[in-house]
Structure 1
Amino acid sequence: MVPSAHVVPTVVPLGLPVGPVQPPPPPPLTGLTADDRAAAAPAAVSDWAAACAPRKVSKSSWFGLGRKEVDAPTNSDELRMRVARPAEGEGIALEAVVSSDASMLQLAQRLAATSAAAPVAALRLTADDGYGPGTMAEVDAMSAGFALLTRCLMVTDGAGCLDALRELSISKITIGNEEAGQLATALTGHASLRSLELWNVGLEDEGALSIAQLATASGNTALSQLNLGRNLISGHGKELLEAMIDASRVHAKVY
């Protein structure tokens, strides 16, 4: 008679900590790809003033006596832009209002497709008021449009029209820690950026610390103004920011 095999049960160690499975790290941030540029090509701008002018439509006058041109009606997803004069130097100041991820993508594609022949010296981006804390808009940085905008801002392989950017202001668009880190990566080493404002964007400690790397003694030498006002930075975070920012070179607002 053949004895039955003795089966030894598998011993599972008890009491060992079991942590969550961590996702792989995101790929390193790169500039605009060939696909980005091809998709954006139809949105190229040669004259920002013309691109920002209201669209006109022809409308019949009273009693059908002739026709006249009036501003075309806008829809809720439409990008609104206007040109202002920059504080100094060449280029234009582009003020853009987005109301949705679709309009954010419209803006990013225009920037991606536009060359240095139509330079933007100041980019001021905001969103329509929403219903959250601080009237923050219902637009956030976790969108294809904001990701494309970040690639446009890259020092290498970014949008040609932003090569000489001197001022960047973003307000009322929720920016998470990861998106803030990518934005900081894109702007690292920017030779002309003097003023950076992320106002009322829901920035937390981790994201604020990523951005503040640009204002350290070894950060962007051209940067002289940093505004991180009306965000979600803790008291301890503010202390860390004040310690790392080079106050002799950068005038910073953190609250």
Structure 2
Amino acid sequence: MTSVSSQKAQPTVALFVSDLHLQASLPRTTAAFLDFLQTHALQTGQLYLLGDIFEYWAGDDDLVTPYNQQIADALKAVQAQGVALFWIAGNRDFLVGEAFAAAAGLSLLPDPHVITLAGRSIALAHGDAQCTDDVAYMAFRAQVRQPAYQQQFLAMPLAQRKAIIEGMRKNSQQSNQDKSMEIMDVNADAIDALFKQTGVSTLIHGHTHRPALHRLEGDRLRYVLPDWEYDVETPRGGWISLTDDGVLHRFDAAGVEIG
């Protein structure tokens, strides 16, 4: 294992995180992310937030909530130091819009999105669109991603939206208990289609909470980001970095590189 400090010989050009599921009820997770922003994020050129950064997002008018404004302000402070911030929506925070993007100083990206940095091209995605074996979720996703549905939902009072989301979260937790991990993981054919669509050989995504580096046929690499949970006895978390030599590095919750 290698500590973060050993990377100084090769500058970090980008960092990738996802699935923080930030919420006021998880203060240690929040503190870990704020510390990450003030340390590691300030040492890179670009930070990519690949979905489910918030546990849920009811609409940009929820910036009136002090906690949400705190996170937006923390991101904006990083951007003010010259770090470019980018956001891909997750299944929990796909209602993030231009108002939040402006408040946080970040750019919204489509899913998937291809970047070319440090001499290599990388496809970025949240990962939920590739969980095609979960038929019920895919039907739900198709519905809530429709602009007409979102427009109607966002027209509701904020309190009503939050109540609906809370009900959806409870229903999702109950239904997921009856689903196998395989069903909730990405589908191999969907991943293959994504590689063909983007024309790259490296993919970074989150969503599944099953961090790993998968070496696939054709020298393809699929990096899966971890979820964050520091309010437990054994913290989970981590990120991926891209250094100037074009090498991707995986880090755990303690900031230790994973071999």
- Name the larger-Rg structure: 1
By percentage of residues, which structure has more helix? 2
TM-score w.r.t. length of structure 2 = 0.29
Q: Comparing both chains, which one has the higher relative contact order based on Cα–Cα distances under 8 Å and sequence gaps of 6 or more?
A: 2
